[in-house]
Structure 1
């Protein structure tokens, strides 16, 4: 179950990390069914809307807005916080948070456009200097990875354990991403992590397998 609110101070680490689910590029009807199957379990603490293939279409912005409205409504039904990938303006229109890559907008602009309760995350790869910068700029969490190779980004550089330790020593919530599964997450059990970001380990499954996988994640994180 979720262990903290969207307004939690970065210094108050949850006893159990939260599962942070990212959308994939499934056809929308299928995606929606998968998201509902995951959210109804109560295990998902944060949801990121990331639809790269939709945005690549001619009417991508309009289509993404229509999809995101439905996803945000669904997430609110299950009391799950939402962030939009890279798009501060869309996040502001929808009243949700935003996750920013290093080249996708600055945190100060996000803070000006979003309400104080909306989560702002920043990609920091394996660089603890970027983690410190995210902290100083006022981000709510710093995302580090890839921890392992993944099907989503098979060519992404993986980070060392020491890089992750250095990031965790900063006074900001840490999110880890990249190849994480319910079977390998125990390798990070001694680190003070806030968010465990997952795409393929849940979203690649058929709808009828997702609830069981979320429960397996809940058991893994509880350990």
Structure 2
């Protein structure tokens, strides 16, 4: 099968999209403050699966999320909540939905029209087209590389990424991405590059420098 080629033209630089990890909240907050202070983070997702698994997880997550949202607002960084439309509505933020975690139509009804709605689409063009039709802000494709966060996730090919970028909706890539390997995607018209471990697994004092390395890597799109 002949490969579709992307024209060799300059594209906008992808935006760095940071996801929280499951660190103790005090440490997590310090890490987020260090990352956001660089001015490089364009979108933040609150994803705290271990907290949610606790008996009082929903209450704890709400309290944590309030503090994170206030921190992000101080840096003018929009926030999305992972998989929870009700919490997103309470907090006045956006939401990212997996395929089994709620309808985009419900999210659009519940949250403000200026808030971001993301949809997990893996490498499936039909799901990407449906996300666009339903009114999602972006479609997330991945895993691009094997990752520590989701080690058993299927990776997608460059050809799938190329086709995904041709579906008329902003594309977010996720999965095993680092400031070193993201340059393999240079030239693709990607809107968001989602990162967890490559930033959040570092100690607080190393996060700012790593964010700057990410900015240098993303500047290769220019």
TM-score w.r.t. length of structure 2: 0.94
1:125 is paired with a residue of what secondary structure? coil
Q: Supply the distance in 2 between the matched residues of 1:135 and 1:84 (Cα, whole angstroms).
A: 20
1:37 is paired with a residue of what secondary structure? helix
What is the alpha-carbon root mean square deviation over aligned residues? 1.0
The residue correspondences of 1:172-191 to structure 2 (distance < 5 A) are 172-191=169-188
For structure 2, the 5+ residue unaligned runs are: 1-9
Query: Residue 206 of structure 1 aligns with which residue?
Result: 203
Q: Supply the distance in 2 between the matched residues of 1:104 and 1:91 (Cα, whole angstroms).
A: 13
Counterpart check, 1:156 vs 2:126: no
Q: Supply the distance in 1 between the matched residues of 2:11 and 2:58 (Cα, whole angstroms).
A: 35
Q: Supply the distance in 1 between the matched residues of 2:216 and 2:25 (Cα, whole angstroms).
A: 29
Give the Å deviation of 1:14.
7.1
Give the Å deviation of 1:109.
0.1
2:162 is paired with a residue of what secondary structure? helix
Is the alpha carbon distance of 1:56 and 1:86 closer, same or farther for their aligned partners in structure 2, counting shifts above 3 Å? same
Give the Å deviation of 1:161.
1.1
Counterpart check, 1:123 vs 2:120: yes
Counterpart check, 1:82 vs 2:86: no
Q: Supply the distance in 2 between the matched residues of 1:211 and 1:123 (Cα, whole angstroms).
A: 28
2:105 pairs with one of 100, 103, 108: 108
Counterpart check, 1:64 vs 2:61: yes
For structure 1, the 5+ residue unaligned runs are: 1-12
1:98 is paired with a residue of what secondary structure? strand
Counterpart check, 1:44 vs 2:41: yes
2:121 is paired with a residue of what secondary structure? strand
Which one scores higher on RCO, CA 8 angstroms, separation ≥ 6?
2
Q: Is the 8 A contact 1:14 1:194 kept in 2?
A: no
Deviations 1:142-170 (A, max 9, x none): 00000000011111100111111111001
TM-score w.r.t. length of structure 1: 0.93
Q: Supply the distance in 2 between the matched residues of 1:155 and 1:143 (Cα, whole angstroms).
A: 17
Structure index of larger Rg = 2
Moved over 3 A (4+): none
Q: How many residues align?
A: 211
Query: Residue 5 of structure 2 aligns with which residue?
Result: none
